[in-house]
Structure 1
Amino acid sequence: MASVPEMSDVGTSVITVTATDADDISYGNSARVVYSILQGQPYFSVEPNTGVIRTALQDMNRENREHYQVVIQAKDMAGQMGGLSGTTTVSITLSDVNNNPPRFPQGVYQFSIPESAQPGSVIGVLHARDNDVGRNAEMEYKITSEDGRDIFKISTDKDTQEGVLTLNRHVDYETKRMHTLRVQVDNRYLDPRFRSLGPFHDTALVKVAVEDENEPPVFQRSSYVMEVLESAPVGTIVGAVSAMDPDNNRSPVRYSVDRHTDMDRVFNVYPGNGSVYLQKTLDRETLPWHNISIRAEEFNNLNQISRVPVSIKVLDVNDNPPIFATFYETFVCENAKAGQRIQMISATDPDEPIGGQRFSFRLAPEASVKANFTVRDNNDNTAMILTLRSGYSRLHRSRYLIPVVIADGGSPMLSSTNTLTVRVCSCDRDGNMKLCNAEAQALTAGLSTGALVAILLCVCILLIMVLVVLFAALRRQRKKEPLIISKEDVRDNVVSYNDEGGGEEDTQAFDIGTLRNPEALEDSKLRRDIMPDALFSPLPRRPPPSAVAGAAPGALRDNADVRDFIAQRLAENDSDPTAPPYDSLATYAYEGSGSVAHSLSSLESAASDGDHDYNYLSDWGPRFKKLADMYGTEDSDKDS
């Protein structure tokens, strides 16, 4: 097996074949071998004595024929008649060299692309052909024409050796509808031996048509920067934006503000002409820049929308007076001398005038009369507070308020009055503060140490007495029987009965059957509550029914007695210090002032000389009915 590059010169060595002969070379020509070619002419030849096979034909082309079979004969006896011979076959392959340029199969290529295509989009593929193989067939594509060189780009696919045409930047149908490119293809690796054969490249025309599409409006600028004074009134025009429909129909454009970029609705835009105007007042110190976005959309197609960023700078106006740079509270020693500096002050102003701030300081005119201090301007935006006299007394005056007027250098000039507090303090010889509380000194100036101890002792004794009284009151309140004996807190269980009674026909709220029938009452169940003698004087015995003409027996007297009794009980509960602070229930049980027959006791009956009138029994029903009606009424007082 052998190979030789194609297009090799005549006589190029291909391979050497060697034959052996077992005869003894020292006896005549028996072992003398001569080589000859039996097959493979006229392409190859062999040297008779060496067996070297060489090319015998000029310009053998691999693309025409790649493989050759060559038969070589070796014959002894120096090739003479009667000699013995043997043959071998040599397979020779022509290896490839780069002797063929790449060629486009067609001279013109046509592609199309929509104008909305994004950069990087593939437009088409070009494939040149090369008869060489392997490394010799690698190609490179490039755009050689000026037209379209910056708009389009072509690259080589290493696997397929194709030229891939892509979009480098946007195209516009309204600007140019057809782009004509000239594309050249070259071999990557050239063989200098074959340059004389001609140029090893090829060219083709590529035409790219741009397809029209409905595009959104296009702004004249990619962004806008505007300026407005912070003192500008509402309605002031800040600036204007401009956009137009790039399509041939030139649809009208409508403008609006993206509200998610202007949540406070400070700015707005006229829909027809794109003028941006002020909708609210501005404050540079609060927000010096406003960044909004303005939309432009076609009237005929609301889906075609474009946006542009707009930055609005708020220009400064001198609208803030200067104030102290920080809170100042200084002191002056009692032994201070006149002209002594006690404080250095400075100012600040949120405004930012061109060239910087220039502050001036002076004492307020109303404080110049009988002034104790003065203000000296340092002409560097600072000032000093100086004393005007010697000696200050805490007992006479513990604090001074110094009004300082600070003005800026803006136009118009603004000023403000700031108050500096100066305390009078006791200092040592070096001017270090020792004590500034004049009130505490005045209170303790005339008291000795023993007097202070006595005052403190008296205070302690008073506190102990107060604690003892409170403790006794708490114990008394704990021992007092609760008004309602229950495991649950009355405050958590409040029941309201709002029944004022329905008169004599009301039998739902009260069962007064027992009251109407005195005989049904058991003696053991009758309450024997008696009003305290200290609060009520004994009532005189009731006269017989005949004593009051035209009235029910005992009715007038009993009504007054019950009212007095209830009023007295209410007064007792209202004035009771141990009563609970919340609404509670109080039980009032009144036995009455006695019967019309006075006492029913056997002792009193025996002591009586005369006969008793027992007609009073017929009067019990109406009397107890009235009593039940009185107790059944609703009272809004807490102790009722």
Structure 2
Amino acid sequence: MVFIDESVVAGSRFSLDSAHDPDVGKNSLQRYTLSPTDHFTLNELSNSDGTKYVQMILQTPLDREQQEKHTLILTAFDEGNPQKSGTIKITVVVIDANDNAPVFSQPVYRVSLPENAQMGSTAVTVSATDKDKGPNGEVIYSFPQNNRKIMELFTIEPSTGDIRVNGLLDYEKSKQYELHIEATDKGGLTDNSKVLVEITDVNDNAPVISVISFSNPIPEDSAPETVIAMLNIKDIDSGKNGQIRCSVDSDLPFRIKFSSSNFYISPILKLRTSACSSCFDL
């Protein structure tokens, strides 16, 4: 059995054990052959006493990822009559070299998370494969850029590629995050990818009412449609979660109108005061 590193260059030589033939002259060992010859050729040499020995020469590079073992047959011949020969099987085991970098399954990963995603929950699992064997094929995942904001919100499990929520997400602060990720084998070769995290809105904000102006007291002869208060109401949620509907108690003689940016409160009818209706709570 011969062990050869796959990084060995073409032209490298490997000595083989010589055959032994006790006969003399033409009846002794005369030549060798090797088959198959896809990767190796033979170089026959002679010692000073006339005995022959052989070297195996690598003519095309080996690739463990394509073929880990090669079985060769070395045959020794004499030139007697009848001709006799002997054979031996040579197993070439290709030793892995770190000649393959990890490769991510996707150049870009996309994931959507609600802004109330629980801390510790898995956002996405990234995966990279390495064709090498043993430590050369073991992959470690990491965030290559020391981005404090990203590292406060997300973590990555080095051995599995699980990316987990590590902080409080807030759609109103950031709607998307771009995470750069790196896979490194134990020989130092790397590949890079990125994860685009889209944050979806949750109805986690109540409307906020601000009184811009307010007339108080109100003259009892105030005409209908007289503006007695102007309000600004905001909800920082998005979509339907941020849409506002504003109303006053139907028993009160007021109504609310909406303009492009504010709400207005005005009487529906001309006001008349009495002992029990001189004050209104809006």
1:165 positional shift: 0.7
Distance in 2 of aligned mates of 1:245 and 1:137: 52
Distance in 2 of aligned mates of 1:37 and 1:22: 20
Q: Which residue of 1 aligns with 2:154?
A: 152
Q: Which amino acid aligns with 2:164?
A: T
Matched, 1:163 2:147: no
Map Cα deviations across residues 353-406 of structure 1 (whole Å, 9 max, x no partner): xxxxxxxxxxxxxxxxxxxxxxxxxxxxxxxxxxxxxxxxxxxxxxxxxxxxxx
Q: Which residue of 2 aligns with 1:67?
A: 69
1:155 positional shift: 2.0
Aligned residues: 205
Matched, 1:46 2:46: no
Judging by fraction of residues, say which structure has more strand: 2
User: Identity of aligned pairs, percent?
Assistant: 26
1:169 positional shift: 1.0
Does structure 2 retain, via aligned residues, the 8 Å contact 1:44–1:56? yes
CA 1:35–1:67: 2 relative to 1, 3 Å: farther
Distance in 2 of aligned mates of 1:109 and 1:185: 14
1:91 positional shift: 2.6
Map Cα deviations across residues 565-619 of structure 1 (whole Å, 9 max, x no partner): xxxxxxxxxxxxxxxxxxxxxxxxxxxxxxxxxxxxxxxxxxxxxxxxxxxxxxx
Does structure 2 retain, via aligned residues, the 8 Å contact 1:35–1:46? no
Query: Which of 199, 202, 210 is matched with 1:213 structurally?
Result: 202
SS at structure 1 position matched to 2:10: coil
1:250 positional shift: 9.6
Distance in 2 of aligned mates of 1:181 and 1:18: 61
Does structure 2 retain, via aligned residues, the 8 Å contact 1:142–1:154? yes
SS at structure 2 position matched to 1:120: coil
Distance in 2 of aligned mates of 1:72 and 1:45: 11
Matched, 1:204 2:226: no
Distance in 2 of aligned mates of 1:19 and 1:37: 12
Does structure 2 retain, via aligned residues, the 8 Å contact 1:215–1:245? no
1:45 positional shift: 2.7
Map Cα deviations across residues 252-272 of structure 1 (whole Å, 9 max, x no partner): xxxxxxxxxxxxxxxxxxxxx
Distance in 2 of aligned mates of 1:85 and 1:144: 62
Aligned counterparts, 1:462-611, within 5 A = none
SS at structure 1 position matched to 2:8: coil
Aligned counterparts, 1:28-427, within 5 A = 28=25, 30-31=27-28, 33-48=29-44, 49-57=52-60, 59-76=61-78, 84-145=84-145, 146=147, 148-157=150-159, 162-190=160-188, 200-215=189-204, 247=237, 249=242
Distance in 1 of aligned mates of 2:38 and 2:78: 25
Distance in 2 of aligned mates of 1:63 and 1:81: 45
Does structure 2 retain, via aligned residues, the 8 Å contact 1:17–1:53? no
- Consecutive unaligned residues of structure 2, counting only runs of 5 or more, are 45-51, 207-233, 245-282
Does structure 2 retain, via aligned residues, the 8 Å contact 1:2–1:15? no
Distance in 1 of aligned mates of 2:164 and 2:88: 57
Map Cα deviations across residues 54-109 of structure 1 (whole Å, 9 max, x no partner): 4232x3222233332322111246xx887532122223232221101111232110
CA 1:34–1:46: 2 relative to 1, 3 Å: farther
1:140 positional shift: 2.0
Distance in 1 of aligned mates of 2:127 and 2:180: 14
Map Cα deviations across residues 273-313 of structure 1 (whole Å, 9 max, x no partner): xxxxxxxxxxxxxxxxxxxxxxxxxxxxxxxxxxxxxxxxx
Distance in 2 of aligned mates of 1:123 and 1:50: 64
Q: TM-score, normalised by structure 1?
A: 0.29
Distance in 1 of aligned mates of 2:81 and 2:158: 65
1:121 positional shift: 1.7
Distance in 2 of aligned mates of 1:68 and 1:35: 22
CA 1:186–1:125: 2 relative to 1, 3 Å: same
Q: Which amino acid aligns with 2:20?
A: T
Does structure 1 retain, via aligned residues, the 8 Å contact 2:42–2:57? yes
- Consecutive unaligned residues of structure 1, counting only runs of 5 or more, are 191-199, 218-243, 252-640
Q: Which residue of 2 aligns with 1:456?
A: none
Q: Which amino acid aligns with 1:104?
A: F
Distance in 1 of aligned mates of 2:25 and 2:32: 21
Distance in 2 of aligned mates of 1:201 and 1:104: 10
Distance in 2 of aligned mates of 1:73 and 1:250: 88
1:30 positional shift: 4.3
Distance in 2 of aligned mates of 1:83 and 1:132: 46
Q: TM-score, normalised by structure 2?
A: 0.62
Does structure 1 retain, via aligned residues, the 8 Å contact 2:129–2:139? no
Q: Which amino acid aligns with 1:182?
A: H
Map Cα deviations across residues 96-141 of structure 1 (whole Å, 9 max, x no partner): 2110111123211011222222322211101112121221111222
Does structure 1 retain, via aligned residues, the 8 Å contact 2:113–2:198? yes
1:7 positional shift: 2.9
Q: Which amino acid aligns with 1:214?
A: N
CA 1:81–1:155: 2 relative to 1, 3 Å: farther
